[in-house]
Each structure stands twice: as structure tokens, then as C-alpha cells.
Amino acid sequence: MIYIVRNNQQFGPYEPQVLKSYIEDGKILSCDKAFLQTNTSDIQTAGYFLTKIGIKPNVKHKGNLLSQIKDIGRELIIPNDIFSRKEFLKDKRLLVLSLIGLLPVFFIRFSLGEFFTFYAIALYFSVIWGLFFFYLFKTIQVKTKTTILLFFGSQIIIFVLWDIFQLPRWPIISFFYSLTESTNWFYQLTGFILGVGFWEELVKAIPIIILIKKAKEPYIPQSLVFYGLMSGIAFGVFEGVQYQMTVNSKLDYSSAFFMNVARLTSLPFLHAVWAGISSYFLSFSVLYPKYRLSLYFLAILIPASLHGLYDTLGWSILGLILTLMSVILLMNYLKQGINYQSKLSK
């Protein structure tokens, strides 16, 4: 005698031949859980026990192909409301799935030129990163409208400083930039920290500082870290498009492919992490203004140093370890936030 278990409910016991007929009629499945009346601890399937005693159920087809499709019915194959605009907009999962899966195809089909294609694809990945960051760091203070304004506002600030005011060409900055080409490791590191890291992290912090000044209530660290992540992604998009149209276009195919992918994925993510660290310290400068001088200093120094070290080490093993350390550092800062607050409040 064999017992059947389905959805935590027990049925039977059945004689083997009776069970065989039920399986052939589709009332019981061969893969349903089963156990013998004489051994309740040995859980297998109905098909397993029948096969073991030499019985092999044969499920017969109900009619031919066309009759089966007729029985299934048109409404199960093509639902009546499949193209309903109301139903489509109501299902958020469908909207997200469609946007993530199909946007690149539309970008390719309706391309308005090289720059817009690169920029659109970069925005696509930014949205994915944004959804990911929102899932991990969302708070009641995080607003969609503020996020969008900050993202595009950051790019406007970057464009004005980089392309209009030509910030990298200013004498003091260009001097440190020139050190990045040195064969001396110390000079190169100095150039990447003070010529690249410092200024890029400072520019990414500007939208956060503006956000703080305009705030109607103090932001908790996690909220400002989220906005910092989005400012970093915005910078990564801007920088990535520029590199794709200039430096990357001069590389060989395999190198260009790799760098284009990196400029859309990992490198914007790194920019986001460093900007998140900066925003973390900026949040404490608001909560504890007595320490704002040192917190401003740390908000730029720490991410700029990580940024400069990474640029110096590149894709070496040490460079990759440093990228992981940046992520670990940000997560630990957030975990230790309460300890920082208790210490600074004394």
C-alpha cells in the first residue's frame, strides 16, 4: 500500500494497480511524493515505488494536437486583456521587466547619433544601478523626484566645470595631472590623488552639498549615502561617454569592447562607492557641525585617496583588492554609524 503526499496533505493508502490507474488518468502524478505504509520514513515518488515493483504507468493523450489546443482554449493562450494599456501600466513588474529588457533595442533602432547612443546606453545602466541602490539604501527621506533632479543636475554641474570652464586645464590641476604620466611611482600616485581623485570627488560632492543646503530636515547618513551613490553614477555616465567617444575608440577591438563594458558597469559603480563614502562624512558634518571642518576634510580625502590609489594600481591584483576594500569600507561605515554618532555627540 502506498500513501501520496501533495501540498502537505496525505492521501491513500492505494493499492499499486489503483495508483497506476490514477496516474494514467492524471489524478495523481508520478512525481508526487509518496511513501510505503510499511516504511513511513522513506520518502520517494509514486513513480519510484511503482517502478520498483515492475509497474509502469502509461499516461494516454487526450485526443490529437488540435483537439487538445481547442480544450485549452484561446483565452489561456491569448488573454483578453493582454494589450490593455490599463493592465500594462498597473503591473509594475511587467513595466520594470520591459524597460530593463527592451530599452537597449529601442536605443539601437532609434539612434540619433553616436553621442546620444552612448549616452542612452549609459543611462540604461544607470537606471539599473539606481534601482539596485534604491533597494539597498532606501529610506523614508529618499524621494524619486529628488533622485532624478540630483542625477541630471550632477551631470550639468560636471559639464559646466569640465567642458565650459575646462577645470582639468587650470594650472594647479594640470600640474598634478601631468604627474600621472611620470615613471616615478610616488609622483604618479601624488598626481592621481591630487590631480584626479581630489577634484573628481570634490565635483561629485557639490550636488550633495547643495542638497544639504536646500534640505528642510537633516538627512540621516543612509539617505545621503544613497544620493551620493547617484551623484557618483552621474559622474560615471558623463566620464564613460567621453571615454567611449575618445580614448576607447582608438583601442583595438577587444580592448575597446572590454573598456566600453567597464565604463558602463564597474567604473560608474566605483565612482558611486567613493561618492557614497564622501556623502557619509558630509551627513555627519550636518548632524555634528562642531566637527564639520574635519568631516569636510575626510569627506574628500578618503575617497580621493582610494580613487588615486586605484588609478595608480589599475587592473592589477592590488587594484582589484582595493576596489573590494572600497565597498567593504562603505558598508562598514554604515554599520558603525551609531558608534560615530554616540562619539561625536559627547
Are 39 and 151 in the same domain?
A: no
The candidate with the shortest Cα–Cα distance to 291, out of 327, 343, 246, 236, is 343
CB 238 within 8 A of CB 249: no
- Average pLDDT rounded to a whole number, residues 145-161: 93
Residue 203, CB-side half-sphere exposure with 13 Å CA sphere: 27
Domain carrying residue 301: 112-344
What's the pLDDT band for 226 if we cut at 50, 70, 90? very high
What pLDDT, on a 0 to 100 scale, did the predictor assign at position 150? 94
C-alpha of 248 from chain center: 24
Domain CATH number, residue 54: 3.30.1490
What share of residues in the chain are helix, strand, coil (percent, to 5)?
75, 5, 20
Residues 18, 23: Cα–Cα separation, whole Å: 9
Are 30 and 173 in the same domain?
A: no
Write out the DSSP string of 273-309.
Answer: HHHHHHHHHHHHHHH-GGGHHHHHHHHHHHHHHHHHH
- Average pLDDT rounded to a whole number, residues 87-98: 65
- Average pLDDT rounded to a whole number, residues 309-319: 92
What pLDDT, on a 0 to 100 scale, did the predictor assign at position 186? 94
Residues 45, 4: Cα–Cα separation, whole Å: 8
What pLDDT, on a 0 to 100 scale, did the predictor assign at position 109? 65
Residue 277 has pLDDT above 90, yes or no: yes
**CB-based contacts of 15: which residues, under 8 Å, 6+ apart?**
1
- Average pLDDT rounded to a whole number, residues 317-342: 86
What's the pLDDT band for 140 if we cut at 50, 70, 90? very high
Among 49-58, 69-78, 148-157, 180-189, which stretch is predicted with the lowest mean pLDDT? Answer: 69-78
What's the pLDDT band for 182 if we cut at 50, 70, 90? very high
Map residue 84 onto helix, strand or coil: coil
What total number of domains does the chain contain? 2
What's the pLDDT band for 87 if we cut at 50, 70, 90? low
**Predicted model pTM:** 0.75
Does residue 29 belong to any structural domain of this protein?
A: yes
What's the pLDDT band for 179 if we cut at 50, 70, 90? very high
Are 205 and 287 in the same domain?
A: yes
Does residue 127 belong to any structural domain of this protein?
A: yes
Map residue 68 onto helix, strand or coil: helix
Residues 257, 249: Cα–Cα separation, whole Å: 9
Are 118 and 42 in the same domain?
A: no
Question: How long, in residues, is the chain?
Answer: 346
- Average pLDDT rounded to a whole number, residues 60-87: 74
- Strand order across the 39-45 sheet: 9-14, 2-6, 33-36, 39-45
Does residue 71 belong to any structural domain of this protein?
A: no
Are 146 and 286 in the same domain?
A: yes
